[in-house]
Amino acid sequence: MKALAMDLGGSGGKIFSGCFDGKKIEIKEIHRFNNEPIEAAGRLYWDILGIYTNLLEGIRKAAPAEFTSFGVDAFCNDYGLLDESGSLISQVTMYRDSRTEGVPERMDQAIPPRELYRRTGCQRARFNTLVQLAAQMDGSDRFLLEKAHSLLFVPDLLNYFLCGEKAAEYTIASVSQVYNRLENQWDDKTLQAFNIPKWIFPNVVPPAVHLGSARESIYARTGAKRFSVCTVGHHDTASAVVAVPSLESHFAYISSGTWSLMGTETDDMITNEESYRYNFANEGGVGGKNRFLKNIMGLWLIQECQRQYDAMGVPRSFADLDAESENARPFRSLIDPDDPLFFQPGDMLGKIKRKCREWKQPEPETPGAINRCIKESLALAYRRTLEKVESAVGFKVPCVHIIGGGAKSALLNQFAASAMGRPVLARPYEAAAVGNLCAQYISAGEIKGLEEARRVVRDSFDIKEYLPDRNAGWDEAYGRFLEIAAG
């Protein structure tokens, strides 16, 4: 069976063709494009029509080989609004836009945060859909919400463009902070508290089901034969976790990309005092699982540094930076990657140096030193998170799977293994696309469920193991890191 998967991230999008012969999946990149927010009049937006144009270009390139199914996964929380006729009436605002600054604190006056956590399981974060909606209801564009007839998250919106069906896929609805996980429906109490119209929210559908057939105009424009639009784990992390090549029930994963999403799977939500205090997220997963995880700022810090290097005329690839880091002194400077200062774009090099000065550490000057500072700090953040995950769920994990594009960094993988004192198993690199394809094969009956999907992934990709270096000073560095993070 041949299928197409679109994986849309915060820095770029990729479209893959997948072929499953009953035992192994083979994937091939068909189309790649950049995806960066557009700043206009002080606001940050996604170019949703440009994204859709690239989606169609990927389909056009894949059309000669033919395929029978298509699925899209993407970042979560951001949304477009449609009017009664089904026309898009708003730009898609980026989750890092400044409109949400200070909003979570104002929201606490309407709903106690502990109560909201119990009902939705969502972490407290200013990028949540609920926070964005609350900001919009208080802003000058409130009229768009009042005029809207439908709200669609980014992957749901792209599917609507393709097949005309308005629906919210479960995994991406579950991370919005608007969906009641206890009652499995949009949360009336929350919507009423912020005067958000309930009618704009579509029906919620599970992953791995047929959504609809592509519009006739799509075939005419791309040359593709008939294909089915399939729901997958529309949240890219949900798709990535499908592709964790673990045959054990207890495992930890890091989906490594713009964000590092670190956690494990549980059967039910964990919303006790400990998980609330640690601000862990409970997110819906493919196969009825709960993803219990923590957002860590991830490679966003390096991507922002790369943008500055490009502007300075000294571009650096990820491989260049890792090679230059080999000559930088270990643990010279550390930061907390989750410091709020790093959330919004702009002058990441200056922000990192500022934080080092505040903690009376040497400022990293060279690209290699800055890269080492970020990646050592990320590895220590992984250790901190792993300790909290294991405390909250009550079991130890024997190893940590690192999946996604960040798994290509042997330097970060080795740092992570040494910092956590656990073996790290790296790959697949295109985990979200692989998990996306697996959901399509489950929908078609080619794969019989989540457990079999993971066995197929394990058989399809070579997994690289990194063992901890226990004599490299990581324990002492971790003590320093905790002091910095606490301060």
Whole-number Å distance between alpha carbons of 184 and 410:
41
Structure tokens at 101: 């600054």
Catalytic residue of the set 7, 236, 322, 336: 236
Q: Is 141 an annotated catalytic residue?
A: no
Secondary structure of the chain as H, E, C letters:
CEEEEEEECCCEEEEEEEEECCCCEEEEEEEEEECCCEEECCEEEECHHHHHHHHHHHHHHHHHHCCCEEEEEECCCCEEEECCCCCECCCEECCCCHHHCCHHHHHCCCCCHHHHHHHHCCCCCCCCHHHHHHHHHCCCCHHHHHHCCEEEEHHHHHHHHHHCCCCEEHHHHCCCCCEECCCCEECHHHHHHCCCCHHHCCCEECCCCEEEECCHHHHHHHCCCCCEEECCCCEHHHHHHHCCCCCCCCCEEEEECCCEEEEEEECCCCCCHHHHHHCCEEEECHHHCEEEEEEECCCHHHHHHHHHHHHCCCCCCHHHHHHHHCCCCCCCCCCCCCCHHHCCCCCHHHHHHHHHHHCCCCCCCCHHHHHHHHHHHHHHHHHHHHHHHHHHHCCCCCCEEEECHHHHCHHHHHHHHHHHCCCEEECCCCHHHHHHHHHHHHHCCCCCCHHHHHHHHHHHCCCEEECCCCCCCHHHHHHHHHHHHHC
Please enumerate in sequence order all residues whose Cβ is within 8 A of that of 393, keeping only pairs 6 or more positions apart, or say none.
Answer: 264, 266, 270, 292
Whole-number Å distance between alpha carbons of 397 and 338:
24
Whole-number Å distance between alpha carbons of 289 and 266:
6
Whole-number Å distance between alpha carbons of 459 and 463:
9
Question: What residues are annotated to the active site?
Answer: 236
